[in-house]
Structure 1
C-alpha cells in the first residue's frame, strides 16, 4: 500500500522528455526492457542475501533501495518541471471518462499477463524446492527478465509498420506460445532457458499496451490510465501468485498456470481487436473510392 506509483509517473513523463512519437515508442520499449535488469539482479540478490544471512536482511535491503530510488525520481528535473494538462477538450467528448470499451478490455486482458508472471514466480520456488536447489528460485525469474531485457533492445531498435494494437495481439500470441514448453516439465536447465522466450515478448506486450492506452485514453488523463494499466497487471499477478501457491504441490498444474494466464489475455485481445483502434482509424484498403463518371438521369 505504501509503494509509490513511480511506474505510471515515469511513463507520463516520456512525452515531455521525447516529443517525437517514434522515439517515445522506442523509449517505452527500452524502459520496459531495462526494468528487466532490476528483475535479473533483484531475485538473485534476494536469494543470495536470504541464503547467506536471512530473509529479514533481504527485506531491509529492498526497503532501503526502494527509498533511494524514489528520492532520485522525485528530485529529477523532468519530475520537477512536469505540470498536469487540464482534462478539457478530450478525445472522447467533454467528460473524458476512462470507460471506453477498448480501454476496459485492454485492462482486463493485462490481468492475464500479470497472472502468468505471478504464477511463474511461485512455480520457480516450487521447482527449487523439488530439485533442492535454492538458487533456482532466483535464477528462473532472472532468466525470464533477461529475455525481457533483450526483447526490449531488439524491439526498440526497429521501426514497425503495423499498428500498436496489431503488434500487441501478435506479441501476446508469441507470449502464450513461449509458455507451452513448461507443460513438458523440463529439467532445471531447460526450464531456465525456456522461460527466456516468453520474457522476450513480455516487453513488446507491455510497450504496445502503453501506446494503445495513450491512443484510447482521454487527453489529460493518460497518467491515470497508465496507473490503471499497472494496477491491472498487479491484480493479475496477485491472483496468479495466490492460485499457484494453492497448486504448488501439483507439478503439472503449476507449470501450466502461466500459459493459462497468457491464453486468457490473448482471447480478450482477439475479441477486442476492433475496439483497440482509436476512433476514426480505418484499416488500410477498407476506404471507399469516389465514384467517377456516373450521373443521375431524369
Structure 2
C-alpha cells in the first residue's frame, strides 16, 4: 500500500509542475496547456494499452520499461529547453509511458485478501489516494516558488523512480501473474459493469476537475484560501472512504454515493464564501472515495482475472478524459459567467452521474453476501514463490 502510494505520488505533482515550468519558459499558459494536453492524450492511450501488456510480459517488466522511459522524458522536460513542438512530443512520451501502477495494484488486491475484505481495501485505497492530491500540489507549489520549477519537476521525478523501484521489488508483484487475455483489446469495455464504472468515473472526475477550476476562479491563484478549500474537499473524500466506503455494494450503491457528491456541489454554487464552499465541498467529498470504491469493486467482481488490469486501464482513461473535458467546460463557463459557471458545470456532471448510475443500476451486481473476487480464468494461474 505504501509503495504504490509513493509510486503514484507524481500523479499529483507533474501536471502542475509542467504547467509552472513551461509557463515560465515561454511566459504563456496557452503553450503550457498544449504540453499538458499532449501529456494527457498519452496517458489516455496508455491506460488500456500498457495494462494489456502486463498480461503478455508480466507486471514487473512492463512497469520497469515504462517507468524508465517516462523518467527520461520527465527529466528532459526539466533540464532541456526545447521548441514547443518538442516539448509536446516529449510530454506525450511521458504520458504514454506513465507506469501502470494503479491498475497493477488493483489487480493484485483480489489476490491479497479474501472477498469480504476486498471492498474495504478498495475503499481504503481510494481514500488514501486523496493524500496524493492534497500533498502533491502543495509540495510542487512550494518547491516551484521557493526554489525553481526545474527542481519541482525533479522532485516529482525522484518520487517516480524511488516509488516505482519500491513497488516492483514488493513480493506481491512477483507472486501474482496475470494470464494472457484471449479476447481482443477493448472487449472488456463492453461488459456492463465496466462500461458503467467508466462512464460514471468520467462524470465524477469531470465534476471534480470543474470544481477545482471554480475554486481557483473564486479565490485567485495567489490566495491560500483556494488551497485550503481543495484540501477540505479531499479530506471529505478521505473521511467518507474511511467511514462508510467499506459497506457492501448493492445495485444502487453508486447512484446513492454520486447523489452525495451532487448535493454538495449544488450547494457550493449557492454562496461563494469561504466557509460555505468549504462545508459544501466537504459534503461532496464524502461521496467521492466511496463511489470510486464501488466502481472498482463491481469491476473486480465482473471480469476475469486476466481482464482486470485492462478494465482498470479503461476506467482510468475515462477519468482522464473526464478531467480534460470538465476543466475545459469550466474554463468556458468562467469566461462567460465568472466562478459560478464552473460550479454549475461540476453539479451538472455529478447530476448526470446520478442519473446514469440510477438508470443503469442493473449493470451493477448486488454483492451483498457475494464473493467480490474476479471471475477465475479457465486455465491455471501461475504464482511464483
| TM-score range normalised by the length of the shorter chain | 0.7 to 0.9
Q: Which residue of 2 aligns with 1:110?
A: 201
8 A Cα contact 2:237 2:286, kept in partner? yes
Q: 2:244 aligns with which of 155, 162, 169?
A: 155
Q: Which residue of 2 aligns with 1:268?
A: 356
CA distance in 2, matches of 1:67, 1:138: 27
8 A Cα contact 1:98 1:218, kept in partner? no
**Secondary structure, aligned partner of 1:4:** coil
More helix by share: 2
Q: Which residue of 2 aligns with 1:295?
A: none
* Gap runs ≥5 in structure 1: 279-298
Instruction: Kindly name which structure, 1 or 2, has the bigger radius of gyration based on alpha carbons.
Output: 1
* Gap runs ≥5 in structure 2: 1-94, 367-385
Q: Please report how far the alpha carbon of residue 239 of structure 1 lies from its aligned counterpart in structure 2 after TM superposition.
A: 0.9
Q: Deviations over 1:206-253 (max 9, x none)?
A: 000011112222342011111111211111011111222233332221
Q: 2:190 aligns with which of 60, 83, 99?
A: 99
CA distance in 1, matches of 2:353, 2:329: 17
Q: 1:176 aligns with which of 262, 265, 279?
A: 262
8 A Cα contact 1:97 1:218, kept in partner? no
8 A Cα contact 1:44 1:135, kept in partner? no
Runs (4 or more) in structure 1 with deviation over 6 Å come to none
CA distance in 2, matches of 1:121, 1:264: 18
Q: Please report how far the alpha carbon of residue 68 of structure 1 lies from its aligned counterpart in structure 2 after TM superposition.
A: 1.9
1:51-66 equivalences under 5 Å are: 51-66=145-160
Q: TM-score when scaled to structure 1?
A: 0.81
Q: TM-score when scaled to structure 2?
A: 0.64
8 A Cα contact 2:119 2:293, kept in partner? yes
* 1:10 maps to 2:10: no
Q: Which residue of 2 aligns with 1:237?
A: 323
Deviates more, 1:257-266 or 1:36-45: 36-45
Deviates more, 1:25-34 or 1:104-113: 104-113
**Secondary structure, aligned partner of 1:3:** coil
Q: Deviations over 1:164-210 (max 9, x none)?
A: x3211110111111111121132123323321211111000000001
Q: Please report how far the alpha carbon of residue 97 of structure 1 lies from its aligned counterpart in structure 2 after TM superposition.
A: 4.2
Q: Which residue of 2 aligns with 1:68?
A: 162
CA distance in 2, matches of 1:271, 1:153: 28
CA distance in 2, matches of 1:42, 1:52: 15
Q: Which residue of 1 aligns with 2:121?
A: 27
Distance of aligned partners of 1:56 and 1:159 in 2 relative to their CA distance in 1, 3 Å threshold: same
